Structure 1
């Protein structure tokens, strides 16, 4: 089917991204997986090539592209080669932290952080999850007390993506012990601040090349100028930006499923069994047909949501719907693709095996899919 999402300008940008991926990403995938970290070089190369920092305003070193279709092109090209770890890391910077700073930051904060983020020179992480909270952000125990000129921060975070490499960490913390949803603020901790330490680089099922850490804060002094947004409004600020995070997860899901299907079609046309290509068997063709239909439906929903985001009409329920549906499709498709690869699908030298491992977290982070179902259900019934 004719997709109709992209213009010639988007396709020209795709050629730039594809060249970057071929030169700077694809040759290093095995190396990054082995060391469980991408390192800095690819971030700097992405900054020079204009692959990251797309929405950063021009006065802060970016192109100021508010058309999210350009970001989707980056997803598609990274997922095409199985670079899910890097896609996730870049998304954290471009779809979560960059918009945080651009939307909530003071002019001084924007000038201090955005140019480096757009250039790939500064990596930022967000520290929400704690050992006992998961998707329940209201259960955050990390706390900060007022001190002359700033805050004294104490607490621990876990599952923090880019935690080992991050130069800046946006910490979700309780600043009012007696408050409810108005109890939370966002404090930006900088690498090297006394009392800030990083734990081990966590070993995960998938996304091996994305460093993921435990972080701890012991009497860390955070100056007032590192308060991001409004004191006490942290929870509302997070909720405002969650739809874009979920759209980004959905984009990764569709791009991953599409790449998995492409790899599998190529495989079953070449692999022979019982005297004929696997692709000639009715079971194979039926499985491919089901996957193609699933992906087409997911892509159509994603495209509608991308255009809604561009138009400023993308809602929390839209975000929950697209995140839920596309990640469930991704899980089904990647699983079927592994099955059609047979024993080779279980070998990590094949990209489908990596995609299978990388896909599992998609239904967990950004708010577990059970949370998405609850959001959608409440919108239908009006009951809480």
Structure 2
């Protein structure tokens, strides 16, 4: 149960940071944000603050920032509807009710709708008891469909599509960017907690029991200098080489007491990754060194993640090598057992994976939306919203299929 709660908490934090990036830059661009949601499905908790509905939904597998103009605007009033209008101090319509409101102290005007412009002109024209009358709408006017359902009007200049290419691109890019920034922060914290890895050369701090390294004879304080004759100096070099090798036997060259020794071993695989069974030696770091390490490690891990995506494209890795929510939950449980330092590291890596994955040009992801914005920049006008929406819909469906496949993989690995 503890593992499940920690996993939900970690995932919720990552989603919150991702959506916060979209939210902040949408607000900076003047876009009306209708909803900031963590999770999908029915609402568990919701509260309106300012113009935005903040919600926690029951399925903690993602989230979204719903901006005005992303989809066909839902604000609509049918001609002939009986309307009840209330006004602000400037005599502009602040509330439009499609039912008779229980308002005793405010001036209310009633009539049948003849015409409405809820985006450009911002007015409603009605047939009242005094004839045809036109009333100007406040730019934040609310349309009340019933006592529980309402929506704020979105003038054209508050909609996503009205913004410049740069503003739209930054609003979309900010989500993955915030995940990368969070990774750098967490890796800096991790560096402060455990110290910096001794590199140039890469020294062994601990040899894990019952692993290829222990069986081969590698010992604490050995300095790993070569793999199959190729020089290495960092832990990332070791991990990258093992991944590319796909589990093939490797010759590890170390320096020990001014001697050069070679060991033949075969990496083991766990949770889709290859390892030989060592923890690197570490030294204490200052605050500034920790920040530097956090940034450097973020870059190094990013390269490794992109190499992994490249191996998927070239067929070196297959769908069977991918992990889903169950595997992520399993690794979270292992991190919890190993201590807070491992939880911080695992959260950082999840955040980085989320950020980079979202930048891939796959329909329904941020990367695909950036591609469409790039096309708009080149051709001078956006792709038809209907066409773009269809592409994202198909992409989302394919992602759901992929999710089912990797979840099946998780179950097979866990129970069979």
Which TM-score applies when normalising by structure 2? Answer: 0.32
The structure with the largest alpha-carbon Rg is: 2
Larger strand fraction of residues? 2
Larger helix fraction of residues? 1
Which TM-score applies when normalising by structure 1? Answer: 0.33
